[in-house]
Amino acid sequence: MTEYSITFKSSAVKEFRRLPTEIKQRLGLVIDELSQNPRPIGIVKLKGNDNLYRVRMGDYRVVYEIDDSAKLIRITRIRHRKDVYRQR
């Protein structure tokens, strides 16, 4: 399987930076694994959008888009489970 590139939406970078160090380290491992397998066991395809997925890490969720033609994963949100699906 070919490796996917990972990019972050600017708001996702800000969300990531605000997290506690321990959570950042654990989420970093999850995000790195996505580059090898963008559809691991346990992901959920979000309803209402054709290419949005979420992966769970404890109480946090990483929401991302997959572009198979460009081999690209774009992280759009990284938030606590109580806030991740709320619109701003």
Residue 49: its pLDDT value, please? 80
Residue 83: its pLDDT value, please? 81
pLDDT category, 1, cuts 50, 70, 90?
low
Residue 48: its pLDDT value, please? 82
DSSP letters spanning 69-88: TTTEEEEEEEEETTTTT---
Residue 51 near residue 65 (C-beta atoms within 8 A): yes
Amino acid at 65: E
Q: 20-78, pLDDT tens digit by residue?
A: 999 999 999 999 999 999 999 888 998 888 889 999 998 999 999 999 999 999 999 99
Residue 16: its pLDDT value, please? 94
- C-alpha span between 34 and 38 (Å, rounded): 4
At residue 26, the 3 state secondary structure works out as helix
* Residue matched to tokens 């990284």: 78
Residue 77: its pLDDT value, please? 92
At residue 64, the 3 state secondary structure works out as strand
**DSSP bridge pairs for 56:** 61
* Residue matched to tokens 């506690």: 20
Closest CA to 55 of 25, 19, 28: 28
pTM for the whole thing?
0.87
